[in-house]
Structure 1
Amino acid sequence: MAQDPHAAEQLAPLLTSEGWALLNSLGPYREEDVLAITARLRKAGHAPELVSAVLSQARLRVKAEAKFGEFSRHMLFTRAGLEQATRLSIAARHARRFVDGGVRSVADLGCGLGADAMAMASLDLEVTAVELDETTAACATINLMPFPNVRVVHADAQTVPLDGIEGVWLDPARRTTTTSGTTRLWDPEEFSPPLSFAAELADKGLPVGVKLGPGIPHPSVPGGCEAQWVSVDGDVAEVALYFNALRRPTVRRAALVLSGDSAAELVAETDFGEGVHPKIGPLEGFLYEPDGAVIRAGLVAELADRLGGHLVDPHIAYFCAPDLSATPFARAYRVLEVRPYNVRALRQWVRDEGITALDIKKRGMAVAPDELRKLLFLGLGKAPKKKPHRRATLVLTRIGEHRVAAIVEPV
C-alpha cells in the first residue's frame, strides 16, 4: 500500500482508549453537523488534534460505506488505503476462488486495510495478511480483530516466508503518495510488489491471484493466467489475474458485470487479439455501447457476434445490430439519423428541434462533450417556461476517416 505522509499523525490519536471510544460514540456523521460536533467535543475537553482526527475518520467511514457497507462503522481507514481497497462484494469472489481451488491457507501480500483478508477469513481460510506501510498495517490489525484465523504482519511482501502457505493473493500498491496527493503508476514493474514477482510465485506452482487496475495493457498480462475484468454498476473496478488452481481452464479473458444483486459474465478461451473476427457494417438499426469490462477484456467483437451485430469501425468499441436484444453487457440506442459531424449544422438542428437538454457520448473523437454542448446552445438562451422540456442524445464517433454524429434514442 502506498504510504500517506499524514496518515500516521491523523490515526495516532485514535489508537488510544479515549480516541477509539470517542470515534465510536459519534453515531451517524453528517457534514452539515461538523461545526456543532466540533464545538461539543471541544467543550467536553477533548484536545484539538483528537477532535480533528475523529472527524476525519468519521468522514472516511461514511465514504467507505460504498465498499464496506455496515462494516465501515467499526473500521479504521486511511485516505490512500480506501482509494485502493477492494469492495467487499468483489473480495468475496476473490476468496471463493481459493475455496473452489482447494486452498486452505492464504498469504495476502499487500493486504492494505484488510478487505480481501476479511472475505477470506469469513470463508474459514487461514490468512496471513502482510502490509509494508506501518500505519496501514495498524488499521488492518484493528479491522481484522474480529477474525481469529487472521494474523497481520508488518513486513515487505517479497521477504515473508511462505512455508506452509497454500495460496497467495497480491494487491500491489499502484500509487505513490506525496504531500500533494497520490499519483497512479502505470508500469507493472513499478508496482509494489511488481507483477513479475507474482508470476515467479505462479511459476513455482502456487495458486496465485493478483488484483490490478483495469487499464493494464493486454501485452502486460502474463501468459498462462485467466484475466477477469469486473465492473460494478457500470464502473470498471479492477482486473484480477488467476494462476494455476485458481484459473478456470477454459477461460483466458472474462468480463464480469455486477449490477445490484445480479451478475453476468462473458468469457473467451482465446488470447487477446484472437477469437471472433469482427464484422464491419453501417451505423444503423440499434447501436450498442458495451460495458467497460467488456471493452477492457477485448470482448466487443464476441458480444457483437452473439447479438447478431457488427462493428461500425474496427477500432471503435461501438457495434450495431438490426434487432434489439436484451443484454447486461451493453446499453442499447435506436439510431434515428446519422449525419456528418459539423458544429454549425448541429447548432441549427438543436434550434430547429427545440432541444433543451443534450446528452453527448463519444468514441474515437477528440471532442470535449461539455465544451461542445456549450457551443451548440450558444446564443439560444433559456427555454420559455411553457415550452416543453426536450432531451436528445448524440453519439459522436469515427467511421474510417469520417467523423459522424448519430442522433439516437436510448432504449
Structure 2
Amino acid sequence: MASDQQSAPSGSPAHSGPASTDPADTAFAAGLERVLVPEGWDLLQTLPPYVEADALKLGATLRAAGHDPELVSAVLTQSRLRAKGREKFGEFADRMLLTPRGLEQATRLPIAALHARRFLDAGVATIADLGCGIGGDAMAASALGLDVIAVDRDPVTVAVATMNLSAFPGSAAELGDAEAFDLDRVDGVWMDPARRTVRGPARRLHDPEEYSPPLSTVVRIARRLAERADGGAEPTSGFGPVGVKLGPGIEHVALPAGTETQWISWHGQVLEADCWFGPLATPGVSRSALVIGVDGAHLLTNAGAGAAVGDAAEGSSVPTGPLGDHLYEPDGAVIRAGLLGVLAAQLGNGAGASASASASASASASASASASASASASALTIDPTIAYLTTDTRVSTPFAHGYAVRDVMPFGMKRLSSYLREHRIGRLEIKKRGTAVEPEELRRRLRPKRFGDESATLILTRIAGEQSVIVATPHRELGA
C-alpha cells in the first residue's frame, strides 16, 4: 500500500455528537488532541523507534527539553501504539494515528486488502465503510484505487480515521450512523459492526442481532442497494454489493441465505468470518475457508459438495473409524466453516496438495479447492465428536497439520511416564482436543526432561469415546 507521509495537521477535525463517557477514553481523547496540533504531530514524527525499556528515560529527556508533560505522555503513547501496530499494518503503522481499542479491533492490512479486492473485482468504484474504526479497511481500499466514505459515530475515532486517510484524496472520514447513511452516495458497502459490549466489563457478543448495528440491518442495506440498482422495484438480484465482518464463532443458521461466508485464519489463528452479499459472493459457494500462512493463501470451499460432505461443524458428517498411520489436525477456519467433510474427501483421495489453491495474502485468492460429493474415498474421524482426521497414507495439505502416528495408548500418568522413560523422550509438544487435561499441567507432572533428548508430539484426545494419548511426529519433521 503506497501513501505519502502526512503533513502536520492544522488542528483536530470538528465534530458533533456524544463523546464516550469512559474515563479512560476521555483521558485518551484529551491526549490525542495534543498530538493533533502541529507541535504534537511534529514531536511524534521525531521520536526514535519505541523501546519499552527506554520509554521512561526518553520521557524525562523530552520534559527536560521543555515539552509539556501531558504532550510527552501523549506522543509516547502514540509511539508505543505504532510499535504494536506494526504487527497488523507493517511499516504503515509508523505514519498512523492509533487508539488502543481501535488497534485491537482493526483488520490486518493483508486481510483488509482481500476485502477491498472483492469490491474491485465486482466493478465497484465507491464504497462506504460503515463503522470504520481507525480506518484500516478504508486505507487498504483507498490504496487499491477505491474511493471510500468512512463513517463512525465516535468523534475521537473519526478524528483518527481522518488523519489515517489524509494521504488519499478520494477518501474521507465523517461522523455518522450506519443506519442513517445515504446509500445514493456509494456503489457498495463494507461494515464492521461492534461485537463487544460497550458498558460494564467487555465481553464478546455471539448473537449477530446483538451487534451494533445488528446483522438484520446489514441485510436491509444489501436489499436497499439491490432495489436502487433495479430502479426502486422489487430487486431481482436479491442483494447489492455488501460485505460484513462477523465473529468467527457465528452459527451457520444465523447466516443469510444466498450469501457466501468466508472464515479466515492467519498463521493458525481464526480471526474473522466475512459475509458477502450480491455480486461480492462467489457463485455456487455458501461457505469457504481462507487459510493464510507463510506459503500464501489457500482457499477451500463447499462448491459442488453435497450436504453430507459440507455441512458439519465438527466430525458428524465424516465416517468414524480406527486410527490410521497418519493423523490430521484441521485448521480452525476449515472447522468453523463446516468443511471437515470436504477436507476428509480430499485427504481420502490423496488430493490435499494438488487440489489446493494458493495466492498472495495481499491479493485475492482467485481459485478454490473443493471436494466432489462423489468422492470415492474419505479420511475418517477417530471419534464422531472430535475434529481429527486419519488416513493410512501421508497427504500434504495446507488445510491441516499432519502427524505420523508412532504409538497410541489409554491415558494414564504411570503408563505415559513409563513410555517416555523407555523411549528416552524428553522434549514434548503437547496438544489436546476433547479432554479436560491441560497440557502445561501434564508437562509439570511428567517432568519430561529427565527422560532423555528424544522428541515427540503427544496428542491427548478421545478415540471411539475413550481418553487416549497418541504419540506422533509432525510431518514437517519427516522431510519429503
Q: What range describes the TM-score normalised by the shorter chain of this pair?
A: over 0.9
- The match for 1:250 is 284
The CA deviation at 1:208 is 0.7
Deviates more, 1:274-283 or 1:237-246: 274-283
Query: What is the letter of the counterpart of residue 116 of structure 2?
Result: A
C-alpha distance in structure 1 between counterparts of 2:462 and 2:252, whole Å: 23
- 1:74-125 Cα deviation digits (max 9, x unpaired): 1011111111101110111111111111211111100111111112112222
- The match for 2:297 is 263
- Which of the residues 215, 221, 238 maps onto 1:195? 215
C-alpha distance in structure 1 between counterparts of 2:189 and 2:332, whole Å: 28
List gaps (5 residues or longer) in structure 2.
Answer: 1-18, 227-239, 311-316, 349-378, 476-480
Query: What is the letter of the counterpart of residue 361 of structure 1?
Result: K
- The match for 1:54 is 75
The CA deviation at 1:262 is 1.2
- Which of the residues 177, 180, 183 maps onto 2:203? 183
Deviates more, 1:88-97 or 1:254-263: 254-263
C-alpha distance in structure 1 between counterparts of 2:147 and 2:84, whole Å: 29
2:432 is equivalent to residue 406 of structure 1: no
Please tell me whether the aligned partners of residues 252 and 271 of structure 1 are also in contact (alpha carbons under 8 angstroms): no
Structure 1 residues 302 and 236, CA gap change in structure 2 (3 angstroms):
same
Paired residues for 1:247-326 under 5 Å: 247-260=281-294, 262-269=296-303, 274-275=308-309, 277-308=317-348, 309-326=379-396
Deviates more, 1:253-262 or 1:136-145: 253-262
Secondary structure of the residue that 1:345 maps to in structure 2?
helix
C-alpha distance in structure 1 between counterparts of 2:308 and 2:77, whole Å: 49
Please tell me whether the aligned partners of residues 429 and 457 of structure 2 are also in contact (alpha carbons under 8 angstroms): yes
C-alpha distance in structure 1 between counterparts of 2:268 and 2:290, whole Å: 11
- Which of the residues 383, 387, 393 maps onto 2:457? 393
- The match for 1:171 is 192
Secondary structure of the residue that 1:175 maps to in structure 2?
coil
Equivalenced residues, count: 403
C-alpha distance in structure 2 between counterparts of 1:252 and 1:367, whole Å: 36
Paired residues for 1:7-406 under 5 Å: 7-177=28-198, 182-204=202-224, 205=226, 206-260=240-294, 262-269=296-303, 274-275=308-309, 277-308=317-348, 309-377=379-447, 383=450, 389-406=453-470
Structure 1 residues 272 and 215, CA gap change in structure 2 (3 angstroms):
farther
C-alpha distance in structure 2 between counterparts of 1:208 and 1:214, whole Å: 18
C-alpha distance in structure 2 between counterparts of 1:177 and 1:53, whole Å: 24
Secondary structure of the residue that 2:318 maps to in structure 1?
coil
Query: What value does the CA root-mean-square deviation take over the aligned residues?
Result: 2.0
Structure 1 residues 313 and 75, CA gap change in structure 2 (3 angstroms):
same
Query: What is the letter of the counterpart of residue 229 of structure 1?
Result: W
The CA deviation at 1:213 is 1.9
- 1:316-374 Cα deviation digits (max 9, x unpaired): 11001111111111111000111111222212223333332321111111221111221
The CA deviation at 1:62 is 0.7
C-alpha distance in structure 1 between counterparts of 2:306 and 2:99, whole Å: 36
Q: Identity over the aligned pairs, expressed in percent?
A: 50
More strand by share: 1
The CA deviation at 1:183 is 2.5
Query: What is the letter of the counterpart of residue 460 of structure 2?
Result: L
C-alpha distance in structure 2 between counterparts of 1:271 and 1:336, whole Å: 33
The CA deviation at 1:178 is 5.7
The CA deviation at 1:391 is 2.4
